Amino acid sequence: MRAFILFYYLCTRIIITNIINQIYPMEKSALQIARAAYQPKLPKALRGALKAVEGEPTQSVADQEEVKKLFPNTYGMPYLKFEPTDGQMTTAQMNVGVILSGGQAPGGHNVISGLFDGIKKLNPNNKLYGFILGPGGLVDHNYMELTPEIIDEYRNTGGFDIIGSGRTKLEKKEQFDKGLEILKELGIKALVIIGGDDSNTNACVLAEYYKAINAGVQVIGCPKTIDGDLKNSEIEASFGFDTATKVYSEVIGNIMRDCNSAKKYWHFIKLMGRSASHVTLECALQTHPNVCLIGEEVEAKNLTLDDVVTSIAEVVADRASRGMNYGVALVPEGLIEFIPAIKKLIAELNDLIAANQAEFDKITADEKIAFIAAHLSETNAAIFKSLPTGVSRQLALERDPHGNVQVSLIETEQLLADMVAVKLAEWKKEGKFCGKFSTQHHFFGYEGRCAAPSNWDADYCYSLGFNASMLMAAGKTGYMSSIKNTYRPADEWIAGGIPITMMMNMEKRNGEMKPVIKKALVELDGKPFNFFASKRDEWAKDTCFVYPGPIQYFGPAEVADQPTITLKLEQA
């Protein structure tokens, strides 16, 4: 009952807030006023009439037979590219629904703005309905019509507060049928799900079901995640990554300036990225830290936690020998999961918890720890018991809605700093000079998720939303909106679509094999990592800090419209 009251309160607050903002417009800063007037740039193909050009049929990135069996109606569809043509784009009246799913990312409001403008261009009578607080809004029939006044209030702004977001998984027939009831009631012919890999997996499952029963509802996905791990040959970047890494890099640069001024602290900075180290790598490319850990490299080299600690301690001791008792170390949020021995432990933990979920729900946290220690294999039990208490407890307890360890709650930056201090103390006893070692600890996460989007993200997100409306006009379902060639000026961007099934593979989730979008990890043979690897020894020895400063929204394109260094190195 308490959960229902809270849910009702949140839904009511969103609706009332939007109504109040229309009657009594919010006070705005000069920057907000200027950003509201910004008109995002569109690729040439999306500015007028267009035609859809189909490419080759596709197949999933792995587990082709299993994925094809699960998605018989949406598997194998072709790539799609939009090209300019003569005439005008018009369609019959078609209402559209939109859902923001998962964690926030800068630019979500511009996806919705682009979608709104796109469907209005196709037919001025088209309406856009937003489902409140994520996929749960579809199932529970909580929605609001997004009018021009509401849309204009949120153009080029950060956050997801226009309709809120949520993490409800769409995976059961009962949910699909309940959602279909409200879609039919509102005359909605197409639904756009804006989210990350798990959310777009849900979109793919929903598209398959609605097509199988001939429901007459198209489902289109849009690639969102600041982690940067939703990408492939057709999806060059997930939106929000550009803005978030620029926000983090600004703050890292500020800390570096302080570090270089005081010359007495080592700053350990944890950055978001549970399953991939893209954020950490991009921030390293922008700021040049003395130490930067890449989880994918740790796994590839089969490093232990002690190996990682020793590598950091060696840099600390070397700098101290040259009178530099200070530095900056960047740590990816998901580092713990990349250490092979701990990764195997987590895999066994997940299976153990999934197999005993009913019993787990009835016992206390301490009883869960004892149960796990008693039922793990000998090797993993030894590793589990050797970990600091805070880490072992977090690995054993609450999972997120997708069954993942909540690594953001593990203070990896503090853990590493403490372990480095112990290592240095041991070396001092052996007569090795290690200097002074004082630390500060930081975790940059929420600071970047709702920032006002950079020009690049504002343009990219608007294009993704507008492009989604064109995919609807082309009659497509089970596609993800795709904008390519994005390291070039927006004029030269290429619009189209990619079947979501092409991105699928089979993975174990909550003890069962399920179809999910394969995460894109940092490629150790890729240009961004190789450039970083060629520079890190120099950055470790010397103070080569770069101070990027705040995001620039105005000025020459070479200052205000630049994409991430990762994107330029990958694509240029």
What domains are defined for the chain? Answer: 71-240+453-509 (3.40.50.450), 244-446+524-571 (3.40.50.460)
Cβ atoms 96, 128 nearer than 8 A = yes
pLDDT mean across residues, the chain: 92
Point out the least confidently predicted range of 5-9, 242-246, 454-458, 531-535.
5-9
**More confident: 447 or 90:** 447
Cβ atoms 230, 246 nearer than 8 A = no
Cα dihedral 416, 418, 419, 424, rounded to 10, equals 120
Q: How far apart are CA 313 and CA 435, in angstroms?
A: 11
Cα dihedral 65, 67, 68, 69, rounded to 10, equals 80
Q: How far apart are CA 282 and CA 285, in angstroms?
A: 5
End-to-end CA distance of the chain: 55
Which two structure tokens, joined as six digits, stand for 132?
Answer: 């409140």
Which two structure tokens, joined as six digits, stand for 359?
Answer: 């019993």
Rounded mean pLDDT, 5-22: 56
pLDDT tens readout for residues 123-146: 999 999 999 999 999 999 999 999
Cβ atoms 284, 330 nearer than 8 A = yes
Cβ atoms 204, 221 nearer than 8 A = yes
Under the banding of pLDDT at 50, 70 and 90, the label for residue 540 is very high
Question: For the chain, what percent of residues have pLDDT higher than 90?
Answer: 80
Cβ atoms 77, 478 nearer than 8 A = yes
Q: Say if residue 537 is exposed, middle or buried (CB neighbours under 10 Å; 0-12, 13-18, 19+).
A: exposed
Instruction: DSSP for 96-140, please give it.
Output: EEEEEBSS--TTHHHHHHHHHHHHHHH-TT--EEEETTTHHHHHH
Cβ atoms 480, 235 nearer than 8 A = yes
Give the catalytic positions in this structure. 227
Q: Output the CA angle 264-267-268, nearest 5 degrees.
A: 150
User: Helix axis angle, 389-396 relative to 365-375, nearest 10°?
Assistant: 90
Q: How far apart are CA 327 and CA 541, in angstroms?
A: 10
Q: What is the DSSP letter of 510?
A: T
The secondary structure of 258-291, three-state, reads: HHHHHCCCEEEEEECCCCCCHHHHHHHHHHCCCE
Instruction: DSSP for 364-386, please give it.
Output: -HHHHHHHHHHHS-HHHHHHHHH
pLDDT tens readout for residues 200-256: 999 999 999 999 999 999 999 999 999 999 999 899 999 999 999 999 999 999 999
pTM recorded for the entire structure: 0.91
Which two structure tokens, joined as six digits, stand for 186?
Answer: 């509102």
Smallest Cα–Cα separation from 449: which of 201, 227, 198? 227
Rounded mean pLDDT, 145-151: 98
Residue indicated by tokens 């000025």: 555
The pLDDT of residue 301 is above 80:
yes
Instruction: Provide the 10 A C-beta neighbour count for residue 398.
Output: 10
Q: How far apart are CA 198 and CA 102, in angstroms?
A: 8
* Cβ contacts of 118 within 8 Å, gap of 6 or more: 465, 466, 467, 468, 469, 470
The pLDDT of residue 564 is above 60:
yes
Under the banding of pLDDT at 50, 70 and 90, the label for residue 407 is low
User: What is the per-residue pLDDT for 154?
Assistant: 97
Point out the least confidently predicted range of 200-209, 326-335, 346-355, 530-539.
346-355
CA 410 to chain centre: 19
pLDDT tens readout for residues 441-458: 999 999 999 999 999 999
Which amino acid belongs to residue 381? A
CA 248 to chain centre: 14
User: What is the per-residue pLDDT for 516?
Assistant: 95
Residue indicated by tokens 């190789």: 530
Which amino acid belongs to residue 396? A
Q: State the sign of the Cα–Cα–Cα–Cα dihedral 435, 440, 441, 442.
A: negative
